[in-house]
Homo-oligomer: A and B are copies of this chain.
């Protein structure tokens, strides 16, 4: 059967995204490829990096962006027929599963990984073709009982799972202190996950309103000032008062700007772990040997392995991580306005675009 895939295409950086349509023959689905009818697609800063900052996409333009996708499988290649009819979250990074890095558990750097909206057309569309391997199937009954709907689950791909992988990479344990810098679309979920995992959580942002939203999950909220040392002192005083360890802090940079990175680096102390989750092309000045003096670690996290998605979906469905109040649904036809508003920092909630191609 041939269907029409409606989509919004990026034709060039900064040029308005254009509505387009292409015909797709379902019988052309090979191997484990599946066709997903998009329920919702989140807007991520990585999309904005491609669109506004000239970060190159691996697939040539024109390209449909969007890598935070939830939806329902409506057709599948020979080896993935069992997925048809299932609700799924599409991981933002789908490793090939067969190469040497994959065999060594390093799927994040798999050279043949599939990143929708980068390696091929993504989720700002009515449908998307993705590999069936690694799709996270959602239990429809649990979903119906949860009060969360399928479009909302789209942000699990990236916004919720990437900080989860960063927490795993940091070896976060119950009783650890977890510090998040930048409580935006990613950091707000990091705070919730860390709390759910038993950490003592510190939330830092320049914007008090963002801190308010995580008040129920953060043990300490700090408005970042101009002086990193004052912030460090405030955390130390809180830790001492509460009887938390003054060492081994797990710091997560989720702001993706140079100011946040500077603060994150200045919070390093003995046995600290600094997780680099946010992205900016800006550079900062660091005394690298502090890592040696503190026997400390910095670790960048690129996406999340598909095998960890079910645990995150469980946290969302059981209510320990709340999406409500952190996301905002918008019709996909408003994509250009939404991109502009996110870029101008005018949106405080993570936008999820719902297909409305009529």
- Chain A positions within 8 Å of B, measured between CB atoms, are 100-101, 106, 108-109, 245, 247-248, 253, 256, 261, 265, 270-271, 276-302
Contacts and interface: CB of A to CB of B under 8 A. Distances in A.
B271 A292 contact: no
A286 B291 CA distance: 14
Contacts of A291: 276, 298-300
A217 to B, nearest CB: 24
10 contacts: A109-B294, A276-B288, A280-B289, A282-B287, A283-B285, A283-B288, A293-B300, A296-B300, A297-B298, A297-B300
A53 B165 CA distance: 41
Copies of this chain in its oligomeric complex: 2
A280 B101 CA distance: 34
Nearest to A288: B261
Contact of A284 (B277, B285, B293, B300): B285
A299 B297 contact: yes
Contacts of A108: 271, 295
B283 A286 contact: yes
Contacts of A276: 288-289, 291-292
Given A294-B300, A299-B297, A288 B109 contact: no
A299 B296 CA distance: 6
A253 to B, nearest CB: 7
Given A279-B289, A280-B289, 5 more contacts: A101-B270, A109-B294, A278-B289, A283-B286, A289-B300
B300 A292 contact: yes
Nearest to A277: B292
A81 to B, nearest CB: 33
A289 B298 contact: no
A222 B283 CA distance: 27
A124 B270 CA distance: 29
Given A100-B245, A101-B247, A247-B109, A295 B301 contact: yes
A176 B47 CA distance: 35
Given A286-B286, A288-B276, A271 B109 contact: yes
A161 to B, nearest CB: 14
A271 B300 CA distance: 9
Contacts of A270: 101, 109
Given A106-B248, A295-B106, A253 B300 contact: no
Nearest to A247: B109
B302 A253 contact: no
A281 B289 contact: yes
A284 B282 contact: no
Most buried by B among A109, A247, A288, A296: A288
A295 B109 contact: yes
Q: Which 3 residue pairs spanning A and B have beta carbons closest together?
A: A291-B300, A292-B300, A109-B270
A257 to B, nearest CB: 10
A288 B297 contact: no
